[in-house]
Amino acid sequence: MVKKKNMTLVTKFFVAILLQFVIFSTADSRSSINDTQSNRQRTLRKQSRGPLLYPPVQLQVFDDHVIVDNGIFSMTIASPEGTVTGINFNGIDNILNDRNEKSDRGYWDVNWSDPSNPKDNLDKLAGKEIDVIVENENQVELSFKRPWTISEENKHVSINIDKRFVVLRGSSGFYSYGIFERLNGWPDVDVYQGRIVFKLQEKMFRYMAVSDERQRIMPTFEDRDKGVPLEYPEAVLLTHPSNYLLKGEVDDKYQYSTENEDNRVHGWICSDPPVGFWMITPSNEFRNGGPVKQDLTSHAGPVTLSMFFSTHYAGTDLGMKFRDGEPWKKVFGPVFIYLNSVTTEDDPISLWVDAKEEMLMQTESWPYNFPNSTDFPRAYQRGAVTGRLLVHDTKLAFASSAFVGLAAPGSIGSWQEESKGYQFWTQTDEKGYFEIKNVRPGCYHLYAWVPGYIGDYMYHSIIYVFQGSKIRMGVLVHKPPRNGPTIWEIGIPDRTAAEFYVPEPNPTLMNQLYTSQRTESFRQYGLWDRYTDMYPDQDLVYTVGVSDYETDWFFAHVTRNVGNKTYIPTTWTVCFDLEYVITGNYTIQLALASATAAEVQIKINDAGATLPVFTTGLIGRDNAIARHGIHGLYWLYSVNVLHSQLRAGRNAMSPYNNDNDNDDIPHV
């Protein structure tokens, strides 16, 4: 958790006001490679990967470690702990940072706490026994297990752990997946984060790539240690970096976060010899929070992560809370750790292009047919759900590019706070048709939302997916909440603040990667304080019909910095004209893209009124602004406004941030 005194935050408003005539009872890194030459290269690579063309996979077992070698690379794994201590590839004795302890090079870990003693605990999930699941010339699969016992109640998370590593013949990389299980009757526990971590040789791997646009030379851990810490421990001003071009820049791992839907491949490039190390995630089914949930990728170190679940950009509501002996089992992965190389005459950046091609091939191969666990269903054991989504607002229209998904049964929008189950998402075509493939057998609700329309859709009957089933949903219709015609609106109902005004960063606190990328400029550090620079005394006033939300609506409703680490609430004013007021009620639709320890109060035509017309109450813990995000959890409120509260002519609505929490970061 990132904390800062005297600040809270809430990100972006989309605001629309509707007239009700009756009384109120009533898709980067997934970019495809389309050119003919590239497709031909992919086909040739596939045809050349027959296992007989490569040496057999060999396993060597020693007292405290094992070595798996397929002739392309070899990996050393501590036994029975199940931590990767070495990777030998293309003449590099060890790609991993061998200056670190053996337990701190390539490992799984989780963060957990005892609800009766909410202290954050880190468990590196060290195994206690090793099992050779498969050993033949085409495949080696190893299992590192740690059964949980009551004697470890205060030492380790109360979950049975089974970490798997798979090496295939002819494969330039290895797979890892885990099977986590809790048995009935086990003690209460909260689990907040689970991931795989790889720490590479920092003198060799200096160039990081997260997407086509986000790639650059990165600082080292030593560079960060020599820098000046900023408001959060993750953020450092580089003052004495080993690469002089980085001097004066801000480094923060959250500046390289990515939405789940785009988090398919990221990693590092070594220029001498030209070698790449990549984390490839072929499916999001095991990740938490849905397709637009954001999480970490790679960051300075050099570090590469596979984030299976976390509370980042959502808060503790997204943590897994097990109570009353609840049993549970889930498979995380497999993910693919890919190694590639080119000749010294080639451009090392071509390794990124190749990694994207490999990601496409791995995605096309999902679900894999090689994991030897009955908990991982093959393609023939899965089902599919198809249908068509329309949207009925002022008229019936195709729900184009809508997100449609299956997740655990719940309430409307509950998928964004769900971590225990699996989720399967797709997007509709231009006419609203969708197909959700490779769905694990189970019971689900179908959820959806349509960019450009407020609200969520949920098909209220539970959908039961069986092995091999093909379920046709027919035509579904999303009806966004509406109580009358729209009088005015500010912003676009797309669940982000991307359309609003994002200021230039403080010139002394910049990351040069984002200076020329307007679509990513919100990732700059310290933008919350720019509101104070722009509005040092008076707050923002927006006049409907005159102001432009792209230039006049600050992207986050934040507190004002008045010095001495003190932040005070701010009151924004929306001025709008009504030619006349019709008897009946009006409705304000208030959509928030994020909130952190904030309370939004609304007053209409009486800023000095003791009681607001509406208050959200204290909401949110997603830290999206501090983590350079443009959205977190989505909140939607329908606010009833009496016609007697409005008047013909000029009206003023004042959303006010009431700072009820002095323990976090800026609020919107």
**How does pLDDT run across 59-73, given as a tens digit for each residue?**
999 999 999 999 999
Confidence of residue 606 (pLDDT cuts 50, 70, 90): confident
The answer on pLDDT for 486 being more than 60 is yes
pTM of the model: 0.91
- Measured distance CA(488)–CA(483) in Å, rounded: 14
Q: What was the pLDDT predicted at 564?
A: 87
The answer to whether residues 282 and 264 touch, using CB atoms and an 8 Å cutoff, is yes
- Measured distance CA(640)–CA(637) in Å, rounded: 10
Q: What was the pLDDT predicted at 533?
A: 96
- Measured distance CA(94)–CA(81) in Å, rounded: 19
Question: Does domain 55-365 bear CATH number 2.70.98.10?
Answer: yes
Q: What was the pLDDT predicted at 249?
A: 97
Count the residues in the chain.
Answer: 668
Give kind and range of the element (H or E) at residue 370.
Answer: none
- Measured distance CA(66)–CA(60) in Å, rounded: 6
Which one-letter DSSP state was computed for residue 503?
A: P
- Of the candidates 348, 381, 414, 362, the one whose C-alpha atom is nearest the C-alpha of residue 175 is 362
The answer on pLDDT for 44 being more than 80 is no
The answer on pLDDT for 668 being more than 80 is no
The answer on pLDDT for 121 being more than 80 is yes
Task: Quick: pLDDT tens for 123-177.
Answer: 999 999 999 999 999 999 999 999 999 988 889 999 999 999 999 999 999 999 9
The answer on pLDDT for 640 being more than 50 is yes
Structure tokens at 301: 């170190």
- Measured distance CA(668)–CA(665) in Å, rounded: 10
CATH of span 521-659: 2.60.120
Residue 263, judged by CB atoms within 10 A of its CB (0-12, 13-18, 19+), counts as buried
Confidence of residue 610 (pLDDT cuts 50, 70, 90): confident
Q: What was the pLDDT predicted at 511?
A: 96
Q: What was the pLDDT predicted at 620?
A: 95
Q: What is the rounded average pLDDT for all residues in the chain?
A: 91
Which top CATH class is 379-478? Answer: mainly beta
Confidence of residue 661 (pLDDT cuts 50, 70, 90): very low
- Of the candidates 147, 173, 296, the one whose C-alpha atom is nearest the C-alpha of residue 629 is 296
- Measure CA of the first residue to CA of the last residue in the chain; give whole Å: 19
Distance of CA 239 to the CA centre of its chain: 30
Confidence of residue 658 (pLDDT cuts 50, 70, 90): low
Task: Quick: pLDDT tens for 545-578.
Answer: 999 999 999 999 999 999 888 899 999 999 999 9
The answer to whether residues 393 and 453 touch, using CB atoms and an 8 Å cutoff, is yes
Pairing of strands 541-543, 573-578: parallel
- Of the candidates 51, 87, 82, the one whose C-alpha atom is nearest the C-alpha of residue 64 is 82
Q: What was the pLDDT predicted at 3?
A: 35
Domain chopping of the chain, boundaries: 55-365, 379-478, 521-659
Name 480's bridge partners. none
The answer to whether residues 218 and 250 touch, using CB atoms and an 8 Å cutoff, is no
The answer on pLDDT for 369 being more than 60 is yes
- Cis amide linkage into residue 481, ω under 30° from 0: no
Give kind and range of the element (H or E) at residue 43.
Answer: helix 36-47
Q: What was the pLDDT predicted at 616?
A: 96
Q: What is the mean predicted confidence (pLDDT) over 242-269?
A: 97
Q: What was the pLDDT predicted at 657?
A: 64
